[in-house]
Amino acid sequence: MTIPAQHLQDLVTGYLRGHPDEQPMLQPLLDRLAGGANVTDRREFDGHVTTSGVVINDADDVLLIHHLASGRWIQPGGHPKDSDRTLGQAVRREIAEETGVTELDAYGDGTPVHIDVHLIEARPDRNEPAHVHYDVRYLFRARGPVALTLQPEEVGAAQWRSPSELGDPVLRARVLSSLGLPRQDRPADEDPYCALVVLTDPHATKVLMHLRDNKPGIWAPGTWAPMSGGAEPGDLDPHATACRELREETGLENIRLTHMFSTHTDGYPRHVFHGVWDGDPDTLTLTEGRKLAFIPRNDFDLVPLHPTTRQDTDRVLELITPRQPPYGYGTLALIGNGSGHLLMHLRGDSPGTCWPDTWSPNGGKPEAADAGPRGTIVREVHEEVGLDEAAVSLSHLFTHTADDGHLTYVFRGTWDGDPDTLTLTEGRALAYVDPRCLGERPMSPLARYAALRGLAAELEDQAHRDGIHTLVAGGLIVHDERLLVVRRNPDDYLGGTWETPAGRLERGESIIDALPREIMEETGLTITIDRYAGHFDYTNARGRTSRQFVFACTPEKPGPITLSEHDRHQWVRALDELPPTTPELRGFLERQWPARR
């Protein structure tokens, strides 16, 4: 045995002190060690040890490799070699060989984060019977830029992905916990979201931050961050959470906080607020962290900031900072009512009007006195329809960049009033428009895209509230009254099944952006999104629930079709022509395509 038995016994025993419920599963390994078995020999088919490592970068993404032998995306790892003297040395060697990553910091005291026991199927071509692997899994941090050099014999590709994409549910939960993130399958009333408070001085030149404790188990240890924290049962809403966290961590009260935007990380909603305080941090009592200070925005590159914190803080500052002409941006407001319909106005037709006689959300261009894009949209909505900031609670949804670099900041808010009670100062009519039926009204491409993005945001939020975090964009592509279906490759999950083109959303991607990308990648077709058709849920390859959002689409051209993830395609005119598919898709089509049965 190249790795001493005593080392392995001590390692497993130390692991079990933290996870005593796993004793029955690991006792056979301890018994075999006590009996003198060489459990590091890969020819020991009564069961032997392997090791793997979860590598996390500064953005809290994990490094997954496409393992050629298994065809799966997994963390790097493998069997110990004669040169290894500890499992820690073995896993570092495997990571370096497969990915080229060598500079790694172990989490905590270096104890494995998980020991998994799984059966390896027999491989007669290698004269290997079925046997058990005891995979000892470690957790590492790779700091700074990480260059990858892949081992072509074993690794087909490598990607940095969300920790929620780790395939093993126990490993996934422990990695998320080590990062200070909640479990993906947590109960809805347990830490359902967090609030981040970006508190600036009156000129928005510096941000009040605290230096977080540098210890495992908390999110972003040893970095500077604004005040933040998870919801507690007594919090009425995210605003209440933000006020409570600010009070508990610094003692500050009665600070006016404005909701700026919301984001999701690993299915964990984060609500970001802005407030202004013109005081001395030395007069405050910090209850969490090691230090409290105003950090100048010009010094953000000089202090340790978690990338997510930096991104959220920069986004707040971008929205509130006044700009000099030429301003280079415009604004739109997606104001929806309880039914999800958007408040829009019919533009006039006078000379010089951009996109005359089309429907559009309210919004406009900046003026010199505006405090950034948020100040612009608040003023525009008040000027055009008379609604003030408190009535609509506008928050930033996304920023659209035109081909010429011009930016359009798109906000969303809510208002359940009657449009007839408002005084429209620009345009000829004001009405609520159903974003599911945009094809019925003339609109500019940007207005239509913004409205669809607003609809997508509502759909994504509802999925997260339902506890569904794997989201899929799918298209009903119709040409000459025929529907395009494609067949999954035989070696894929549900191989041989027919489906409509669809694919998962990438991290931070909207349904509306994912759909044309996926269809182009899978079929080579360029499409126009016509309307939202609905959604259906199904069980994915990992045994979890996915939600597929389906949009009716028109292809720019019906071909040629170039398949990248399927082996056949077919155009069908009616449901009775539909080849074998899943019950979920067939049921959806029966509801959405009743005339084609």
Q: Alpha-carbon distance 352 to 370, whole Å?
A: 24
Q: Is 150 helix (H, G, I), strand (E, B) or coil?
A: coil
Give the pLDDT confidence score for residue 554 in this predicted structure.
Answer: 93
Joined together, the tokens standing for residue 332 give: 């739109």
Q: Is the pLDDT of residue 185 over 80?
A: no
Beta bridge mates, 49: 134
Give the pLDDT confidence score for residue 331 in this predicted structure.
Answer: 97
What is the model's pTM?
0.77
Give the pLDDT confidence score for residue 597 in this predicted structure.
Answer: 44
For the segment 45-66, the average pLDDT, to the nearest whole number, is: 89
Beta bridge mates, 502: 474
Residues with Cβ < 8 Å from 69, sequence gap 6 or more?
A: 154
Whether the Cβ atoms of residue 116 and residue 54 lie closer than 8 Å to each other = no
- Tokens 């951009």, residue? 354
- Cα distances (angstroms) measured from residue 555 to each of 436, 484, 506: 19, 10, 23
Give the pLDDT confidence score for residue 129 in this predicted structure.
Answer: 86
Residues with Cβ < 8 Å from 552, sequence gap 6 or more?
A: 475, 476, 478, 529, 530, 531, 532, 533
Q: What is the pLDDT of residues 357-379, one digit of tens each?
A: 999 999 999 999 999 999 999 99
Joined together, the tokens standing for residue 534 give: 């609905």
Domains and CATH numbers, the chain: 5-178 (3.90.79.10), 194-320 (3.90.79.10), 329-453 (3.90.79.10), 466-596 (3.90.79.10)
Which residue type is seen at 490?
P
Whether the Cβ atoms of residue 48 and residue 119 lie closer than 8 Å to each other = no
Give the pLDDT confidence score for residue 338 in this predicted structure.
Answer: 83
Alpha helix segments (H runs only) across 251-332: 307-320
Q: Are strands 545-555 and 470-479 parallel, antiparallel or unpaired?
A: parallel
Q: What is the CB-side half-sphere exposure of residue 76 using CA atoms within 13 A? A: 30
Closest CA to 200 of 282, 260, 257, 277: 277
Q: Is the pLDDT of residue 44 over 50?
A: yes
Return mean pLDDT, the chain: 89
Element holding 116 (H helix, E strand):
strand 114-120
Look at 567 and 264; give whichever has higher pLDDT: 567
Give one DSSP letter per residue of 518-583, joined into a string: HHHHHH---EEEEEEEEEEEEE-TTSSEEEEEEEEEEESSS-----SSEEEEEEESSGGGPPSB-H
Give the pLDDT confidence score for residue 285 in this predicted structure.
Answer: 92
Joined together, the tokens standing for residue 112 give: 């494995």
| CA angle centred on 122, ends 118 and 127, rounded to 5° | 130
Q: Alpha-carbon distance 181 to 220, whole Å?
A: 10
Identity of the highest mean pLDDT range in 44-48, 217-221, 420-424: 420-424
C-alpha dihedral over 502, 507, 508, 513, to 10 degrees? -30
| CA of residue 118 relative to chain centroid, distance | 29
Per cent of the chain over pLDDT 70 is 96
From the CB of residue 117, how many other CB atoms can be counted at a distance below 10 Å?
14
Q: Alpha-carbon distance 596 to 498, whole Å?
A: 17
Whether the Cβ atoms of residue 348 and residue 429 lie closer than 8 Å to each other = no
C-alpha dihedral over 333, 338, 339, 342, to 10 degrees? -10
Q: Is the pLDDT of residue 262 over 60?
A: yes
Beta bridge mates, 571: 484
For the segment 98-112, the average pLDDT, to the nearest whole number, is: 88
Q: What is the pLDDT of residues 450-487, one digit of tens each?
A: 999 999 999 998 888 787 888 999 999 999 999 999 99
Give 351's DSSP letter: T
Q: Is the pLDDT of residue 147 over 50?
A: yes
Joined together, the tokens standing for residue 191 give: 């830490």
Give the pLDDT confidence score for residue 328 in this predicted structure.
Answer: 93
Look at 71 and 38; give whichever has higher pLDDT: 38
Q: Is the pLDDT of residue 319 over 50?
A: yes
